[in-house]
Structure formats: structure tokens, C-alpha cells
Structure 1
Amino acid sequence: MSVDIIIEDARWADLDIEALCSAAADATLGHLGLDAEAFEISVLACDDARIAALNTSFRGKAQPTNVLSWPSAERGAPTPGGTPDAPDPVRDEELGDIAIAYETCAAEAVRGDIPLHAHATHLVVHAVLHLLGYDHLRDADATLMETLEVEILGKMGLRSPY
């Protein structure tokens, strides 16, 4: 998978965010039977101030959050718990964009007694699933998405975040 990363907060470099994002994206796409080499994503590794501004602009929520995602196309399943449409490697090369905030991610990791790299990996897997059309607004969709996250993280040797 081609992952284009912009590191705005240098603390992410200490975590080797580039390798972490590539591994999480590859594992997510591979788990879903997609050829990771056919797709690209962009990741902004930022701080809480930057993600709060993005969250305000795009979601109307004037507060920081852990991760945001902007899919390049609508792929969501029309029925609750359904599988979203798979991207076409020719037409949908660019899956979308992700932003991840250091302070919020680090604070959540401390609160959950989770290693920072494991929590950040979970958030990237979660965001890539959003780029692929998965969501958690409806109960059946949340169950599907959480099940996939646990399976993907398990294959990566990480424990369930739930």
C-alpha cells in the first residue's frame, strides 16, 4: 500500500508512524481480500489543535478527537450490517485521507493501559475501514466493524481493544 504521510507533530516520528500506518493499512486490506499494492491513502499525523480545527470544519464539533477519515467515495452498505462495496483498484486507487491526533491518542492509550503503538494501530485500522465504507452509526454496522477490527488486530498480534 502506498501511504503518503505528513508529520506535523514530531512526536509521531518517534513512534515510526509511517511503518505503523503502512502495516495497519496492509493488514486491513489483506484481511478483506484486497490487494494493498493497488491502493493509496494519505495520513496527517498531527496534534490536538489541528484535529480540533478539522473536526470543527468538517463535523461541526469544536473539540479534538482521536482520528478522522475522509473516504474518496461513498461505499457504505445500504442495509444495516451489510458489507460495503469493495473499491475498484483501477477506478478507486486513492481510498481517502486520515488525520490522527497525538495528544488524544496518547491520553486514550494511558487511560486504557494500552501501549501507544497498539492504540495508534487500532485507530488507523479503524480509519481505513471507514475509508472502505464501514461505519458504526447503526448497531449492526458497529458490530461488523468492531468484529473486523478485532480480527485484523489479532492477526497483527495485538489484543482486542473492546
Structure 2
Amino acid sequence: MNNALNVITDGGAWENCGFDVFQTARTVFDTVLSYVGRNEEIGFLTLGKNLIVNLSLSSDAEVHRLNKEFRGFDKPTNVLSFANIDDEDFDNYIKISPEIELGDIIIAYETLSREAAEKKISLHDHFAHLLAHGLLHLLGFDHQQDEEAEYMENFEINILQQLNINNPYQEYN
């Protein structure tokens, strides 16, 4: 399969973030799909179709605008995901389409950077975590209920462990 991760950046701080965001994004993308494919029964992953994800590396200003417009929250956040799986015609779409566009992920640089500094973790590791989190949402995972949150967090922890990244939910001093 030729799964596609389309990455666009608004430039700015992303250009000088200290690591190759494009390579890191691809590695996280491949790791998430591989791990979820081995550990979760998601019907459309067994169809052998190419998967497409759009990743926008953006700013707090843009994420703030999108968060307000689509979620009703008048503030920026670290990552937004817009999953096509949530569309009511998704099941029909995957039957006729030769590929499956999972949706869009937008990551805000300023919030990412601030949170990484607050948590005393690298920008790279926090980016990988947020991208894995967003990808899991596109695959149908959620964290609205405690049980769902724990299940999703365990997937994140195991995926990040495969990338040699520490558990983001564990407190370090």
C-alpha cells in the first residue's frame, strides 16, 4: 500500500524547529497505522486501500480560528483533528473509493512549543505525541468517557514506546 501523508506548513517557526518535521511525521504516521492495524479491529483498515491524511503545521492564530469556528472554543489548542469517519456517508464512501481519506490534523506551533517547555520534554517528542493522538482520532478513537480515554492513552503510550519516546502521561521530576 502507498499510504499518503500530505504535510503542509505555514513556514515560520516550523522551518527552524530543530528537527525534520516531515520525516518525523512520516515515521509517526507509519508507526500508528502499523500498530493500530495489529491491535485493533477497524474494518476499513483490512480493505487494502491506500489511506490519506492531511497534516497542517500551523500557528496558534489559525488553530484558534478553526477551534472557534468548528468547536465553539474561543482559544487555540495544541492539535485539532477533523475525521472523515464521523461523516454519515463514510461507509458508502469507502465502498466505492479506491483510497480512503481519513481526514485532517492541524498542529499549532506556539502551543506545542509552550507545552513542551512546561513539561520539560523535547519539541520532537511532544510533536510525535500530538500527531499520534490526532491520527488515533482519525481512526475512530475518542476520549470523551474515562474508559475510552484510558484505552486511547494506552495506544498512545505503546505507539510512542515504539518510537523510543517516554510515556507522556507519566510525571517526571
Say whether the fold is shared (TM-score over 0.5): yes
Is residue 48–residue 104 contact of structure 1 (8 Å, CA) maintained in 2? yes
Instruction: Kindly state the Cα deviation for residue 90 of structure 1 after the two structures are TM-superposed.
Output: 7.0
1:30 maps to 2:34: yes
Read off the aligned partner of 2:66 and give its amino acid letter: L
Read off the aligned partner of 2:152 and give its amino acid letter: M
Q: Equivalents in 1 of 2:78, 2:135: separation in Å?
A: 14
What aligned pairs does 1:13-92 form with structure 2 within 5 A after superposition? 13-14=15-16, 15-33=19-37, 34=45, 38-74=50-86, 91=97
Identity of matched residues, % = 37
CA RMSD of aligned residues (A): 2.3
Q: Equivalents in 2 of 1:37, 1:156: separation in Å?
A: 25
Read off the aligned partner of 1:29 and give its amino acid letter: L
For the pair shown, the structure with the greater C-alpha radius of gyration is: 2
* TM-score scaled by length of structure 1: 0.86
Read off the aligned partner of 1:63 and give its amino acid letter: K
* TM-score scaled by length of structure 2: 0.80
Instruction: Kindly state the Cα deviation for residue 144 of structure 1 after the two structures are TM-superposed.
Output: 0.5
Q: Which has the higher helix share?
A: 2
How many residues are matched? 152
Moved more, 90-99 or 105-114: 90-99
Q: Equivalents in 2 of 1:29, 1:156: separation in Å?
A: 13
Moved more, 45-54 or 17-26: 17-26
Is residue 64–residue 77 contact of structure 2 (8 Å, CA) maintained in 1? yes
Instruction: Kindly state the Cα deviation for residue 23 of structure 1 after the two structures are TM-superposed.
Output: 1.1
Q: Is the alpha carbon distance of 1:26 and 1:90 closer, same or farther for their aligned partners in structure 2, counting shifts above 3 Å?
A: farther
Q: Deviations over 1:39-98 (max 9, x none)?
A: 1100111110110001000101110100000011229xxxxxxxxx9xx69746111000
Q: Find runs of 4+ consecutive structure 1 residues off by over 3 angstroms.
A: 34-37, 88-92
1:111 maps to 2:118: yes
Read off the aligned partner of 2:6 and give its amino acid letter: D
SS at match of 2:75: coil
Q: Is the alpha carbon distance of 1:57 and 1:94 closer, same or farther for their aligned partners in structure 2, counting shifts above 3 Å?
A: same
Q: Which residue matches 2:167?
A: 160
Q: Which residue matches 2:149?
A: 142
Q: Is the alpha carbon distance of 1:60 and 1:160 closer, same or farther for their aligned partners in structure 2, counting shifts above 3 Å?
A: same
Q: Equivalents in 2 of 1:153, 1:10: separation in Å?
A: 27
Q: Equivalents in 1 of 2:61, 2:95: separation in Å?
A: 35
Q: Equivalents in 2 of 1:102, 1:94: separation in Å?
A: 24
Unaligned runs of 5+ in 2: 38-44
Unaligned runs of 5+ in 1: 76-84
